[in-house]
Structure 1
Amino acid sequence: MNKSIFNFSKALALSALSLLFVFSTVSCSDSDDEGVSCQGGDYGMSLAIQSTDGSYTYYTLAYNNLMSGTLTAQGQGIEQPGYYDFKAIDNTIYSLGGLDDVNVVAISQDNGCLSQAGDVSFPNSLSDLVKADNNTLVSVAMSSDSDIITFRKFNPNTVSVTETVDIQVSEFTDLVGLSYSGMVISDDHLFLSYYISDPETFATTHTDQAEVAVFSYPELEFQEVITDDRVGPIGGFNTKSGLVKDQAGNIYAISHSNPANGYSQSTKPAGILKINAGETSFDEDYFFDINDVANGTMVYAKLLSDGRFFAEINTEARANQAMWSDSPLESAIVNFEAQTVNYVQNIPAHAGDGRRLVGFEEDSNYYITIPEEDGIFVYQIDTQNYTATQGAEVQASFIAGFYKF
Structure 2
Amino acid sequence: MKIKHLLATCIAATALLSSCKDSPDDAPSETIDTSGNLYSLWVTSSTGSYLLTTNDLMKDTLLSPNNNKGIDITSHLPAAFYGVYAYNHHGKFYLSNDGKLFSQHEISSDGQFRETNNYVFPGNFFMGKVLDNICTKDELVLTKTAGTTNTTKKVLEQPIYYMNTNNLTINKSVTVDIPMIKYVPKQTNGADDDPYIVPTSMTVRGDKLFVGHKYRSNITRTDIIDTAYIYVCDYPSLANGKIIKDPRGGFTAGHWEINKPTFLDDNNDLYILTRRVGTSSYGLLRIKSGETAIDPDYFFDLKDFNVFKNSSSMIQKLGNGKAYISPYVVDPANKKIIADLRILAGGAEPKTTMNFMENGKLYDVFKTDESKWFVYEYDPETNSLKRGAEIDPGVTWVYHVNKIK
SS in 2 for 1:164: strand
Partner of 1:382: 379
Change (3 A) 1:256 1:130: same
Change (3 A) 1:389 1:152: same
- Is the aligned partner of 1:275 residue 2:317? no
Change (3 A) 1:156 1:230: same
Change (3 A) 1:151 1:210: same
2:158 equivalent among 140, 149, 167: 149
Partner of 2:399: 400
Change (3 A) 1:112 1:41: farther
Please give the alpha-carbon distance, in whole angstroms, between the structure 1 residues aligned to 2:319 and 2:113. 26
Please give the alpha-carbon distance, in whole angstroms, between the structure 2 residues aligned to 1:98 and 1:177. 24
Give the percent of matched residue pairs that are identical in Structure 1 and Structure 2: 18
Read off the aligned partner of 1:378 and give its amino acid letter.
Answer: V
- Is the aligned partner of 1:370 residue 2:372? no
What whole-Å deviation, never above 9, does each CA across 1:353-378 have from its counterpart, x for those lacking one?
5xx73222233532111123332111
Partner of 2:21: none
Please give the alpha-carbon distance, in whole angstroms, between the structure 1 residues aligned to 2:216 and 2:350. 21
Please give the alpha-carbon distance, in whole angstroms, between the structure 2 residues aligned to 1:162 and 1:361. 29
SS in 1 for 2:373: strand
Please give the alpha-carbon distance, in whole angstroms, between the structure 2 residues aligned to 1:57 and 1:338. 41
Using the size of structure 1 for normalisation, the TM-score is 0.72
Partner of 2:117: 118
Change (3 A) 1:139 1:296: same
CA positional deviation for 1:352: 6.1
What whole-Å deviation, never above 9, does each CA across 1:133-190 have from its counterpart, x for those lacking one?
5364321124388553221112344442111223455x34457321232221110122
Alpha-carbon RMSD across the aligned residues, in angstroms, is: 3.5
What whole-Å deviation, never above 9, does each CA across 1:231-285 have from its counterpart, x for those lacking one?
211113457322212244321011123xxxxx4368xx74211112222211222
Is this contact kept in 2: 1:138–1:154, CA < 8 A? yes
Residue correspondence of structure 1 range 189-200 to structure 2 within 5 A: 189-199=208-218
Please give the alpha-carbon distance, in whole angstroms, between the structure 1 residues aligned to 2:107 and 2:337. 35
Please give the alpha-carbon distance, in whole angstroms, between the structure 1 residues aligned to 2:6 and 2:229. 27
Is this contact kept in 2: 1:212–1:227, CA < 8 A? yes
Change (3 A) 1:332 1:264: closer
- Is the aligned partner of 1:288 residue 2:291? no
- Is the aligned partner of 1:45 residue 2:40? yes
Using the size of structure 2 for normalisation, the TM-score is 0.72
Residue correspondence of structure 1 range 153-302 to structure 2 within 5 A: 153-169=162-178, 171-173=179-181, 176-199=195-218, 201-207=220-226, 209-221=227-239, 223-237=241-255, 238=257, 240-257=259-276, 263-264=277-278, 270-291=282-303, 295-297=305-307, 300-302=314-316
Please give the alpha-carbon distance, in whole angstroms, between the structure 2 residues aligned to 1:110 and 1:212. 44
Partner of 1:79: 73
Is this contact kept in 1: 2:207–2:236, CA < 8 A? yes
Residue correspondence of structure 1 range 305-324 to structure 2 within 5 A: 305-312=319-326
Is this contact kept in 2: 1:92–1:109, CA < 8 A? no
Please give the alpha-carbon distance, in whole angstroms, between the structure 2 residues aligned to 1:224 and 1:196. 17
Is this contact kept in 2: 1:376–1:398, CA < 8 A? no
Change (3 A) 1:227 1:115: same
Please give the alpha-carbon distance, in whole angstroms, between the structure 2 residues aligned to 1:13 and 1:240. 19
CA positional deviation for 1:351: 5.6
Read off the aligned partner of 2:397 and give its amino acid letter.
Answer: F
SS in 2 for 1:310: strand
Please give the alpha-carbon distance, in whole angstroms, between the structure 2 residues aligned to 1:153 and 1:282. 28
CA positional deviation for 1:13: 4.8
SS in 2 for 1:378: strand
SS in 1 for 2:230: strand
Unaligned runs of 5+ in 2: 15-31, 151-156, 183-193
CA positional deviation for 1:193: 1.0
Change (3 A) 1:159 1:336: farther
